[in-house]
Amino acid sequence: MAMTIALYVISASALAASFIKSRQKTYAALKKALKAFETILPQFLSILIVIGMLLALLTPEQISKILGSESGFLGVIIAALIGSITLIPGFVAFPLAAALLNNGAGYMQIAAFISTLMMVGIITLPLEIKYFGKKAAFLRNGAAFAFSLLAALVMGALLCL
């Protein structure tokens, strides 16, 4: 809470300093930020709705059973597959990961989910094939998937120490 307040104070101070230095540039920057926010908002809201519905439909026990620590390597594979086929921006993925962790998901499973989400692109594969070729696209996605599983195993080993 104190860190949040500190960040707001720092942001407000920086905005005030910018406003004092140049009102025009500050207004232009705020307009640009508002346009960026308007662009991101529909994606953000749709993902929040999906997250809310999933958390409402799945109990912590069900999440724990599918993605919990006791789900083992099968849970890691399930999380990696979900991450591979999901197209969610990073600023939504990390709060989603926190919500899943708070509802019983395991660290290894969430590491697999997040890393495949960021690095593997099943949905974007046709576009990647178009620009880089079939071999390069499959090789990159396969290597990213393997690395994600390795990262999950390392996270699991490190957090179990």
Distances in Å between the Cα of 83 and the Cα atoms of 25, 33, 99 are 40, 29, 15
Q: Which domain holds residue 45?
A: 1-57
Does residue 44 sit in the same domain as residue 95? no
What pLDDT was estimated at residue 161?
A: 62
What pLDDT was estimated at residue 87?
A: 77
Average pLDDT across the chain, whole number: 88
The model scores a pTM over 0.95: no
**What distance in Å separates the CA atoms of residue 13 and residue 3, rounded to the nearest whole number?**
15
**What distance in Å separates the CA atoms of residue 136 and residue 4, rounded to the nearest whole number?**
43
Does residue 96 sit in the same domain as residue 150? yes
Residue of higher predicted confidence among 71 and 77: 77
Does residue 67 sit in the same domain as residue 36? no
Residue 103, pLDDT > 90, answer no
